[in-house]
Structure 1
Amino acid sequence: MTATILITGASSGFGAATARRFAKSGWRVVGTGRRAERLEALRGEIGDAFVPAVFDVTDEAAMEDALGRLQPPFSQIDLLVNNAGLALGTAPAQESDVADWKTMIATNVTALTVLTHRLLPGLIERRGAIVNLASIASNWPYPGGNVYGGTKAFVQQFTRGLRADLHGTGVRVTSIEPGLCESEFTMVRTGGNQQAYDVLYEGANALQPEDIAETIHWVASQPPHVNINQLELMPVSQSWGPLRVHREP
């Protein structure tokens, strides 16, 4: 039986790579995003197995409208991948723009929970699955991570809460927590600073969006009785550093 996956933030990065990977395996794919032209390009690449749903995840009315327009079998979601999210800024908390904080919370927390709640009845009925994209920032704080790390810690804990609440329904829930991965994410975070992007990734052999897509596909391909609760991955080049100590002069 062919299954249907809905991927938020499918217009680039992890989301686009995941759409390609699942379509390659014979899944039907619903891809959401704000940029209609990118979703249309993805449909041109993938073909009839892909249906775009154009909306901003923070716009609940637009979300409802787009989901309401989906027709069977694309409206019958078996797997929800909550990928849409962003980080804004790298400044310490005391120098951050509170508007950036609000945008991260609205996108990474509020929108994710609203969409999940909207799709839960169908996922329960179909004994489906949910994959939430968190981050190593869920567990490991770093300077400038402040609210972004907080939102991803929420995603991790929300995933665990869903697992507890969905006990006995057959719905599987997983938190995927990537480390350094080369994608448009960093350009957004730095306000389009190409130099900062280049410095971050030069020689790092970072994870690629295709690595994340393959991981999500592996999680979804496990037998129905197997749930991967949490999966953290980093490139081999990345690990943990020593704790900082500030010394008084």
Structure 2
Amino acid sequence: FNDAQSGGFLNDAIGALGGIENALSDLAGTFGGGSDEQNAVNTLGNVVDGSSAGGFSFPFLEDPTQIFGLLMGNPIDLVVYDMAPLELEFEFSQFFSIFGPLGVSIGLIVEVMIDTAFGYDSQGIQDFVEGGFRNPLDLFNGFFISDSPKFNGVDDPELVFGAQLVAAAELNLGVAKAGVAAAFGFQILFDLFDPNNDMKIRISEIIGNIANQLRAPTDAEKLLAPLA
């Protein structure tokens, strides 16, 4: 992950979990584990980044000028909740001795970050009023998931998943150590589709996106269509 996307991971999350690391270490010892087993279970951590906790806000009170937009028929944000980024990291490393001082070390790092925000604007109320107060379900049109979790106008992904595999051959002679390593990693960004690019994904849009996907022809259907 880069700093702009994940902001780093906590160093003390294992302690916050109430001793999971110790429990895993005891489990390894129960099975006669030595240093190798200890290394394999010693790296579960970095769960919640509490340093950037989000919370509720009321934009129309913080910026009363938004009310002028309401007079022009544009929806305004009434309440939003910025969920604190949830950052997870799992690390696994194991050393395998091949012959004497020669061995192979394998490591795996998996990182996940979830960052999103929710809100309710006046769109639902406007739809309810324009519909003659006949359909209360119109009020749900005001709920939305922000396509810009940081509310900065940038379409950031809501979910980021990354993994890295590292393999190294090591030669440890006691007084000196040498080795060669290779790493392979990837990162996947998940971003909700915003049909009208207003930085808000509403319930109706989510349902519409799913319905469109179900109706979309498969590659096989596209190829067979000229033969029909």
- TM class by shorter chain equals under 0.3
Say which one has the larger Rg: 2
**Which one has a larger percent helix, Structure 1 or Structure 2?**
1
Greater RCO (Cα-Cα under 8 Å, separation 6 or more):
1
**Which one has a larger percent strand, Structure 1 or Structure 2?**
2
Q: What is the TM-score with the length of structure 1 in the denominator? A: 0.25
